[in-house]
Structure 1
Amino acid sequence: MRDEMIINIDNTHLHTHQHSIQKQLTLSGLEETLWSIEDHTRSTEDHTQSTEDHTRSTEDHTWSIEDYTRSIEDHTRSTEDHTRSMEDHTRSTKAHTQFIPLYINLWSTRDPERSFLNIHKMVF
């Protein structure tokens, strides 16, 4: 009987010890799972931050492209304005140039009615 009690105590002790080991393993597994979840959460947060940074960078780049496009459009308009101004100047110069021989001729005349200044006032 005493041997049976010792065996029973030993079995209980063994069972308790096994149960304790199982609890430790279970807790250890839970702890590892929690660490894994925490690591995954941090990784997800890092990825989210990286994605947000990339989105901001893309938006900044888009705005930069839009600014550059507006700058090109402004420059194009300015160039077109300058071209029109040069065309106007060319026409004015041609119109003025055709009167140069008349000016020379009239400048040398002594006739007040045909004087250079009177003709110039009438033409311009």
Structure 2
Amino acid sequence: MRDEMIINIDNTHLHTHQHSIQKQLTLSGLEETLWSIEDHTRSTEDHTQSTEDHTRSTEDHTWSIEDYTRSIEDHTRSTEDHTQSTEDHTQSTEDHTRSMEDHTRSTKAHTQFIPLYINLWSTRDPERSFLNIHKMVF
């Protein structure tokens, strides 16, 4: 009987010890779970902040792209205007060149008749007078 009692006491002690260990493990597990939740919360907050920062950076980048696009469009319009101005100037220069060529031809033609005019002007013959020749030539 004494052996049974010792075994009983030992069993009770063993059961109590196991229960104590289970309590410690349960409390320890809860504490670890709380720490884990707090770590996860901090990690989530950090991730949220990082996401907000990335969103702001993306918006800034988008505005930068839009500004650059407007700048390219402005430059394109300016280039088109300059091209049109250059074409207009070229046309004006060509027109002026043709006008000068016409004037040169006219001056050459007129110059060829100057000696004739001088000779005829000095002639007293009315039929060969300057005015009559001038009417025939021009």
TM-score, normalised via structure 2 length? 0.49
Distance 1:9 1:46, change over 3 A: same
Distance 1:89 1:54, change over 3 A: farther
Asked if 1:96 is matched to 2:110, the reply is: yes
Deviation at 1:43, TM superposition (A): 1.6
Residue deviations 1:99-124 (CA, integer Å, cap 9, x gap): 99999999999999999999999999
- Higher CA-based Rg: 2
Structure 1 ranges of 4+ moved more than 6 A: 78-124
Deviation at 1:89, TM superposition (A): 22
Q: Distance in 2 between matches of 1:119 and 1:38?
A: 117
- Aligned Cα RMSD in Å? 10.8
Q: Distance in 2 between matches of 1:56 and 1:121?
A: 88
Distance 1:114 1:12, change over 3 A: farther
TM-score, normalised via structure 1 length? 0.54
Aligned to 1:64: 64
Gaps of 5+ in 1: none
Residue deviations 1:48-77 (CA, integer Å, cap 9, x gap): 211111111011000011111112222333
Q: Distance in 2 between matches of 1:53 and 1:123?
A: 90
Q: Distance in 1 between matches of 2:31 and 2:126?
A: 115
Distance 1:18 1:105, change over 3 A: farther
% of aligned pairs identical? 100
Q: Which moved more, 1:17-26 or 1:114-123?
A: 114-123
Q: Distance in 2 between matches of 1:115 and 1:76?
A: 66
Gaps of 5+ in 2: 78-91
Residue deviations 1:68-107 (CA, integer Å, cap 9, x gap): 1112222333999999999999999999999999999999
Residue deviations 1:21-68 (CA, integer Å, cap 9, x gap): 011011111211222222222222211211111111011000011111
Q: Which moved more, 1:19-28 or 1:68-77?
A: 68-77
